[in-house]
A = this chain, B = another copy of it.
């Protein structure tokens, strides 16, 4: 028996568990940062980790909602006036609950349907969701370098 191109390898529920597992690890990284460094530390002119977190938050639940409903707001990268780790963590947890609530309402066909995320990025629902996950892993990996450079031991990558 060999695999055909239409063979299922991942279900909607698997994907939610996969994403929320990654989001749990990202939350641990937020916690691991010294509060001032979270909003200020940078290497090579890159953004502080809090700005990356803001980007994840602006993508995550809005993408779940956009894939579920076909309705997209404008993409905004920053979170306005957030200045504390506690506030970032609170927003993170709200986003986690929001994604969990939206997920079962995603119509099956929307994963393969091509749409314009935030009115500007064309892709199928699954590709837009995978982009959000990959983008989070990518920038979180950069957060690991920031922590190492600060002398802080980061949480293990495989711990979700």
Q: Which residues of B contact A103 (CB under 8 A)?
A: 3
Pick from B13, B45, B137: contact of A148, CB under 8 Å: B45
B-contacting 9-mer, from A77-85, A88-96, A139-147: A139-147
A86 within 8 A of B: no
Q: Are A139 and B141 in contact (CB under 8 A)?
A: yes
Q: In the complex the two chains form, what is the Cα distance from A69 to B81 in whole Å?
A: 53
Residues on B with C-beta less than 8 A from A44 are 145, 147-151
Interface residue SS majority, chain A? helix
Tell me the complex Cα distance, A44–B14, Å: 35
Oligomeric state, in copies: 2
Shortest beta-carbon distance from A6 to chain B in Å: 5
CB distance from A101 to the nearest CB of B (A): 13
Residues of A123-160 contacting chain B, CB below 8 A: 126, 130-131, 134-135, 137-142, 144-151, 157-158
- 23 A-B pairs with C-beta separation under 8 A: A2-B104, A2-B105, A3-B104, A3-B107, A3-B108, A5-B11, A7-B13, A7-B108, A7-B111, A8-B8, A9-B12, A10-B15, A10-B126, A22-B134, A43-B149, A44-B145, A44-B147, A46-B148, A137-B137, A137-B138, A138-B141, A140-B141, A145-B145
Q: Which 6 A-B pairs have the closest CB atoms?
A: A44-B148, A141-B141, A5-B13, A8-B8, A10-B10, A138-B141
Additional A-B contacts beyond A6-B11, A131-B158 (7; CB < 8 A): A3-B111, A9-B12, A18-B130, A44-B145, A137-B141, A138-B138, A138-B144
